[in-house]
Structure 1
Amino acid sequence: MTTKVTRGRPVCEVKQAEQRAKLILAAKELLNIKSYSQITIRDIAAEANINSAMIKYYFGGKENLFVQLIQSLADEHFSQFENLGEHNKPLYLFICRFAEVLQTHPGFVHLLSEEVLNKTTPLAQAFMEAFPARVSKFLPQFIKQETGIEDSKKARLAAFQLITLLVSPYILKTLRQQAWGISDTEIQGEQWTKDLYQRFVFGLKESDINEVEF
């Protein structure tokens, strides 16, 4: 039995919201298995079972649809990050939860590696504002809280280093697997998270006490 594709512009606001949500979800699902450049408006419409004209009607085009997707992902996940300062080990919890986002949302990594790095498009700008810019506001404070570092500049640089440590194994997937023989399972799970946390935090604390002489 063939499923009928929804056609026309729904008058009901609830129906419009449902269709917008379905299109965003379809884009999210496709991004988990394809790169942004490979996904077409027809692909999204077919995945959502909605007429492709609705993408232009609701979002103005493919790029703005993905901008909306980025914003919805950020809103979904950042509420769980920003309140971690209330815990004893906010940095460890951040590493655990951010690593989980990277593992369960491959589309996030696809966008970052293919459309954000070294580009200045509206999509790249939306990604920067939704994720890195927001992380930069609270992560340095977590580092101060958990390591005792008081220097704001040092905490900010350390926060950037931590994000690099978390993201690079996913962005450099081909290099990691082919040159180093490190599988996906080796960079996932509790043991990887604990090792990364301990090396990072203990390294920061040690460097804050004893500087290496050159």
Structure 2
Amino acid sequence: MMKNTHPTKEKVIQAAGTLFYQKGYHATSVRDIAKEAQVNISLISYYFNGKQGLFETIVIDHLEANLKLLEESLGEHFLTIVKRILHYKMDNYQLSCFVHREMMLDSTLLRELLVTYIAKEDSLWASILFQADDISDLRYGQELQLLQMKGMLQAPFTVPWYQRGERSSTEAKRYFIDKYVENIRQWFKGDPVE
């Protein structure tokens, strides 16, 4: 999932993602991450310039993967795109929960990171849902639909439900996605309104 290729760097990213999901960003120390990744603590500073740099890497990689998914799906029916996004988020469940949980917090760091990504995502969704060239071309009702659609895609990942046994199976994830996409389709009554 991550674009980085060095195995040690990947171990640190995976360990941090798990701990950030379990404990939250502020409750996780660099020492915790190094221990979980089984690396020397100095490697985190070397690769990421500390915990904040590691946090930024994880969030940016996740947001860029979402944007890439949207960009590659342009021209497809919006429900197909919704399914792809939900599959990606379910396949990266802990990361998705962590990133969405952190996005709900009001922090300067996140605001700086997110402003560009949110604008790009809004523009892509405006194109997908309404064939608009720019978010500013949307009418008020369309803006509300866009906001609702994005909220519906984030909602399942803002409060983690602990997956155990059959709940975490591929079949259970597929069932959830199929039912959730059906709810979105019904909400849009087949297609986004103009």
TM range (shorter): 0.7 to 0.9
- Check whether the contact 1:36–1:111 (CA below 8 A) recurs between aligned residues: no
Unaligned runs of 5+ in 1: 1-15, 175-182, 209-214
**Within the alignment, does 1:111 sit opposite 2:124 as a pair?**
no
Instruction: Tell me, in whole angstroms, the C-alpha distance in 2 between the residues paired with 1:24 and 1:134.
Output: 25
Instruction: Tell me, in whole angstroms, the C-alpha distance in 2 between the residues paired with 1:86 and 1:204.
Output: 15
Instruction: Tell me, in whole angstroms, the C-alpha distance in 1 between the residues paired with 2:9 and 2:110.
Output: 18
Instruction: Tell me, in whole angstroms, the C-alpha distance in 2 between the residues paired with 1:169 and 1:72.
Output: 20
Spell out, residue by residue over 1:142-188, the C-alpha distance to the aligned partner (whole angstroms, 9 max, x if none).
11149xxxx623433321111112223432568xxxxxxxx996992
Cα distance change on mapping 1:152 and 1:53 into 2, 3 Å: same
- Check whether the contact 1:63–1:123 (CA below 8 A) recurs between aligned residues: no
2:88 to 90, 95, 101: 101
- Check whether the contact 1:70–1:127 (CA below 8 A) recurs between aligned residues: no
- Check whether the contact 2:20–2:28 (CA below 8 A) recurs between aligned residues: yes
Spell out, residue by residue over 1:2-25, the C-alpha distance to the aligned partner (whole angstroms, 9 max, x if none).
xxxxxxxxxxxxxx9443333222
2:36 to 31, 42, 47: 47
User: Where does residue 79 of structure 2 map in the other structure?
Assistant: 92
- Check whether the contact 2:31–2:41 (CA below 8 A) recurs between aligned residues: yes
Superposition deviation, residue 57 in structure 1:
2.4
Instruction: Tell me, in whole angstroms, the C-alpha distance in 1 between the residues paired with 2:120 and 2:66.
Output: 11
- Check whether the contact 1:136–1:156 (CA below 8 A) recurs between aligned residues: no
User: Where does residue 120 of structure 2 map in the other structure?
Assistant: 134
Aligned amino acid, residue 87 of structure 2: E
Superposition deviation, residue 109 in structure 1:
2.2
Aligned amino acid, residue 79 of structure 1: K
User: Where does residue 164 of structure 2 map in the other structure?
Assistant: none
**Within the alignment, does 1:35 sit opposite 2:24 as a pair?**
yes
Superposition deviation, residue 45 in structure 1:
0.8
Unaligned runs of 5+ in 2: 162-166
Normalised TM-score (structure 1):
0.67
Instruction: Tell me, in whole angstroms, the C-alpha distance in 2 between the residues paired with 1:140 and 1:201.
Output: 18
**Within the alignment, does 1:161 sit opposite 2:135 as a pair?**
no
For the residue of structure 2 that corresponds to 1:189, the secondary structure is helix
Superposition deviation, residue 108 in structure 1:
2.5
**Within the alignment, does 1:190 sit opposite 2:178 as a pair?**
yes
Spell out, residue by residue over 1:23-70, the C-alpha distance to the aligned partner (whole angstroms, 9 max, x if none).
222212333433222221112112222111121222221011110111
Percent sequence identity over matched residues?
21
Instruction: Tell me, in whole angstroms, the C-alpha distance in 1 between the residues paired with 2:176 and 2:71.
Output: 23
Superposition deviation, residue 72 in structure 1:
1.9
1:143 to 107, 113, 129: 129
